[in-house]
Structure 1
């Protein structure tokens, strides 16, 4: 199975009780980390920028006590293949769903953070009949709640300035190539409530994942395709609303103060919680609180 790894230059992170897998997801090889209760209710986890599946490492063992847990690297992320195009969230969502099917799972709960939540929202619009429950953590959704304009006042600009920067052709690659460690380190240090949330080993891992084999290009591509993601989301929402139960998880010092309120206009059944003492990277900062909230919410669907 390890010979199928398309990102050879990035060391693998291992988590006790979990197995690395690579599957053909409609023409793109995606990396999944699987464990937990065989035959139990399936829970699929998606992470965002600038992280990988490793963002869930503190939550996965807790969920594994009751669920069949599958953490998937998005296309272009971590140890998944980096395709040349197709980073709008509907295309990425189709690949993720194909990966879940390839792992033999037809019905599942979906939990996602940041850009992972972008993809999860589009996946729910297209494959809702396969989903039991959806939990989205601290993310504005393109075409729904992601701001169309970038704030310029210093009190808010630091949270969203990169959306515009990442869409500029070629310039980010020119400035960031070879400096991925400094760039990734800024996000993980500044956007967490405590600057010491991530240690040097974790910062090195995430920076290496962005730097390896076209990872920087792929990371930027989600932002560059965000307008297309927004267009397709709006188009889909003209036809239907989400009926699957949705949990919005915010944090005391995150980006979206009330995820549930932001999602309720397009979902029929939305509840929310706010995790205290956390910034944007809630699963890393308060993993027990996240695991407790998810276990209660996901168990209600089974």
Structure 2
């Protein structure tokens, strides 16, 4: 059970990414937390003494990916959306972005906010971090919901398919790993690049309006944003190695909810995780592509609420 946030030297309202306009959500407060030398941006609201639900977004988004889901959870839960290192209004450190290192930063931030145990909900690269966090801090987790993501070393393919019907979903993994070239080609074209993902990977290409595309493009374009976004892919091999090493010692026992969609990247998240987890359940959200929280927020909020309530 989460306790109320406490006033500590680790929490401030000092925004380290001032060139990116803040997005505000009614009922929620911005905080920045010192997490082992990296200031992470957290947006929190809801019930201070309720069960805590921590939300992590993926590429090419920020915490704003959860804006349609968060209000539906506030009546019962303490809701905390966190920008990963290098994402949104969190610092963009020049250090490792392997998911075990990042998971330690995220967990430290949650603890600094006064939360001892929590449910974790994570999408895309956020789910990469979420899986590694579960491997390292399982005793602090009540449950983990993972949305439409191949996990490095677990379910992420070692090779990129060349079949055109599938290649468009994963081609960027190889591109992002190439040194320097993505930065050269994408500088000044961040909006076109981000817009392609947000339109091509949704079931309805008009899911994201111009303002939302502008926000995510600006987050990538800000100083250090593109480098940090690519770093998760460039460190994926190390993330995979650490995941495999951890799973040699034990499998996950924390409840895992796999949330897939009718037209996403991973048809059955729960089945893909079940060889390494003892307690998995499955939800498939209809009428959605990869960006499920944006496309079907009510269904995602209901799945999260039911999952956390079952654990409670």
TM-score range, shorter chain: over 0.9
Pick closer, same or farther for the CA change 1:176–1:58 going to 2, 3 Å: same
Pick closer, same or farther for the CA change 1:3–1:301 going to 2, 3 Å: closer
Counterpart for residue 150 of structure 1? 160
Say whether 1:262 aligns with 2:248.
no
Counterpart for residue 127 of structure 1? 137
Counterpart for residue 65 of structure 1? 75
CA distance in 2, matches of 1:300, 1:155: 38
CA distance in 2, matches of 1:299, 1:56: 19
CA distance in 2, matches of 1:136, 1:144: 13
Counterpart for residue 108 of structure 2? 98
CA distance in 2, matches of 1:72, 1:200: 23
1:111-190 matches, cutoff 5 A: 111-190=121-200
1:1-302 matches, cutoff 5 A: 4-302=14-312
**CA contact under 8 A between 2:69 and 2:301: conserved in structure 1?**
yes
TM-score by length of 2: 0.96
**Residue aligned with 2:81, SS:** strand
CA distance in 1, matches of 2:193, 2:154: 28
Describe the superposition over 1:26-70 as per-residue Cα deviations: whole angstroms up to 9, x where unpaired.
100000000001100000000000000000000000011110000
Quote the offset at 1:108 in angstroms: 0.3
CA distance in 1, matches of 2:235, 2:12: 31
CA distance in 1, matches of 2:245, 2:181: 31
CA distance in 2, matches of 1:133, 1:252: 23
Quote the offset at 1:3 in angstroms: 5.6
RMSD across aligned positions (CA)? 0.8
Quote the offset at 1:77 in angstroms: 0.1
Describe the superposition over 1:247-269 as per-residue Cα deviations: whole angstroms up to 9, x where unpaired.
00000000000000000000000
CA distance in 1, matches of 2:90, 2:73: 23
Quote the offset at 1:2 in angstroms: 7.4
CA distance in 1, matches of 2:12, 2:192: 30
**Residue aligned with 1:71, SS:** strand
**Residue aligned with 1:20, SS:** strand
Quote the offset at 1:112 in angstroms: 0.2
Runs of 5+ unmatched residues, structure 2:
1-10
Quote the offset at 1:300 in angstroms: 1.1
CA distance in 2, matches of 1:127, 1:2: 25
